[in-house]
Amino acid sequence: IEDGPLGDTSFEMAGRRVPRDMLDSILEIDFLDRHLHIATRDDISILDIGAGYGRLAHRVMSAFPSLPKYWLNDVVAESSFVCEYYMKFRGLEGRCVLAPGTEIDRILQSAQIELAINTRSFSECPLSAVEWWPGKLAIQGVKYLMIVPNDGNHGGKLLRNNVGQHMLPVIERGGYRLSARESKYADPEVQKFALNPTYYWLFELEKR
């Protein structure tokens, strides 16, 4: 995982080893900062849906130590176990907190989450599971939802799950509207040939 101590796929770039997961996190953070200015915020709480081992949480909270709290949710017990260990390994326990599915309602009600993030796991879910989240987030006033889909055979240009079902209609029915969509890599040639190309989708809760 990540930068050497726990192992990961990495590449030699400008004389240093760069893990793939770190590169992904940097690009996602850059997208969020350009649109939501998280680098200058100290009041935005984040919920990571399908957080895996917590690689994005580690990079966000390390880059922006003034952010108050980062919640991590994953329905796979093994992922949550590894995530808890990894947060302790990175010294982020207390700032990065597991959010079990059984406690989501309580956390959403009390934590004042402003931004929810899903990187690739919605693509692995049935449409019914994806549909559950926007409605739940909207009820609790979560203002922004960022989704990173798997590239599939369309490079992430479409918001589809791995079996080809369109996720955009269920996101919109939940009360969110697209506010930004950008390719992972700014250069078109890099986007075409680089590792794991996709698009970043940012939704904003409609005012009611």
pLDDT level of residue 3 (50, 70, 90 thresholds): low
- pLDDT tens for 163-200 read 999 999 999 999 999 999 999 999 999 999 988 899 99
Please tell me the predicted confidence (pLDDT) of residue 1. 47
Provide the 8-state DSSP code for 128. Answer: H
Tokens read off for 202: 């940012």
Mean pLDDT value of segment 68-73? 95
Please tell me the predicted confidence (pLDDT) of residue 59. 95
| Helix axes 55-63 and 20-36, enclosed angle (nearest 10) | 50
Is 0.75 surpassed by the pTM of this model? yes
Give percent of the chain above pLDDT 90.
Answer: 82
Mean pLDDT value of segment 103-126? 95
Q: Where are the alpha helices (DSSP H) in the chain?
A: 20-36, 55-63, 77-89, 104-111, 127-139, 168-173, 188-193
